[in-house]
Amino acid sequence: MIFIDSHVHLDGLTPAYWRLADYYGVRRLLVSHLGIGEADFTCDPDEGQLRRWNDLVLKARRERPGRIEGLCYVNPRLETAAEEVRRCLEAGMVGVKLWVSVRYDDRRVESIARLAGAAGVPVLLHSWRKSLGQLEHESTPDEVAYLARRLPEVNFIMAHAGGDWQYGLRAVASLPNVSVDLACSVIDEGLVEAAVAWLGAERVLWGSDAPASALSIAVGKLVAARLPRRMKERVAWKNAAQLYGLSL
């Protein structure tokens, strides 16, 4: 089986990651950079920070053509957010990444999502429902569902299956424009099977969230899932290839 890592961060692309990626057959990577590890890291980046961090992704893409694809990380609070999305897409990026600068029920998010939809690229939405430690502007699956209902023409990917995945899957199950990725969760027994049962195999994407989770764990939870091989292949790479317009 081959894989597309639909959720990986630039700081996760260590020599160890690449050794395992080659071993497991991870053919393509959807990479974003949130500035983690940078001296000026913040959850609320400014225009200059975003441009610099996105440029690092574009540089990595040039260094590994055909292996790395970029997702444009933006802060919807900024008036220049749409300009940055256009710049990144014109440079060859294939999607948009939002994190925790604003919640997704903030109307400023809609203009970014509409721009992505008009360009035919998906929006990867960090989402995590926590019992403790929710960040100030960290969206739960409920905000993802709110945004997706308002913009049914846009393709969204809810990262981490919402963190609390039993809650997250139910929140978006009725929304055909929302897929989920399996990245990062380490409490995984039944996750893959539940995601396919609730959403259908065509709305589930495999991903690692490296460096937050080991690539071996991410591969193992799909390989061990009690699903037919044809469904595993959809999750492993075919859905990401279709959403992002990639060929292997």
Tell me the per-residue pLDDT of 22-81, one tens digit each, with 9 for 90 and over.
999 999 999 999 999 999 999 999 999 999 999 999 999 999 999 999 999 999 999 999
Mean pLDDT of the chain: 95
Q: Is the pLDDT of residue 186 over 80?
A: no
Q: Is the pLDDT of residue 185 over 70?
A: no
Q: How many domains does the chain have?
A: 1
Sheet containing 178-181: give its strands across: 3-9, 26-32, 68-73, 95-98, 123-125, 156-158, 178-181, 204-205
Radius of gyration of the chain from Cα atoms?
A: 16
Domain that holds residue 105: 3-244
pLDDT at 179: 98
Give the CATH number of the domain where residue 30 resides.
3.20.20.140
Q: Is the pLDDT of residue 177 over 90?
A: yes
Residue 233 to residue 245: CA distance in whole angstroms: 17
pLDDT at 247: 87
pLDDT at 188: 75
pLDDT at 238: 98
